[in-house]
Amino acid sequence: MRVNLVVSHEFGHQLQFCLSQASQDRIGELYRNRLERCRIDNPPPPGYEGYSELVRPERLNFRQFISGYSATSKEEYWAEAVAAFSIAESRQILQAMDPGICKILTEILEKPHLHFSPVLVEPILDLQASLRAGLAMPEDLLG
């Protein structure tokens, strides 16, 4: 089965603008650490001028990013993580591969006050309460 994750990827870009500076800094730190390990574990071939993580088939277990494209920038790293997190099966892969980014994404749903700009926290909590009352946001949403 093929799934189109363009909408959730683009949502990730919009979501990033709502995050606190501390959360954005943490995402940047996670990205830089992965990029550093990527350049050691999976160095690009000589002459490669792109930014994607290129992984030989025999080294797939050593990849650092959920997708090659997510290595291109902090913003793409975040957007690809949001897209992967939006589907249960890929969320499990993301959790095993990048628990730090998964923790942030889980906390965004469960503890939004930890990651959103203060002016957005109350409206988000109100929206979540409304969704729960309408049974549109079950308690085991991530389960």
Side-chain half-sphere CA neighbours of 13 within 13 A:
8
Structural domain range at position 66: 6-133
Which of 137, 118, 116, 141 is closest to 128 using CA atoms? 137
Structural contact between residues 128 and 141, judged by C-beta atoms closer than 8 angstroms: no
In a domain, 92, yes or no: yes
Residue linked to tokens 């501390």? 22
In a domain, 1, yes or no: no
Q: What is the pLDDT of residues 41-77, one digit of tens each?
A: 988 889 988 888 988 889 888 889 998 899 999 999 9
Residues in CB range of 95: below 8 A, 6 or more apart? 102
Local confidence band at 1 (pLDDT 50, 70, 90 cut-offs): very low
In a domain, 141, yes or no: no
In a domain, 90, yes or no: yes
Q: How many domains does the chain contain in total?
A: 1
Ramachandran quadrant class, 4 (left: phi over 0; alpha: psi -120 to 50; beta: rest): beta
3 state SS of 81: helix
Q: What is the pLDDT of residues 80-111, one digit of tens each?
A: 999 999 998 999 999 999 999 999 999 999 99
In a domain, 140, yes or no: no
Which of 16, 59, 13, 9 is closest to 38 using CA atoms? 59
Question: Which pLDDT score is estimated for 62?
Answer: 86
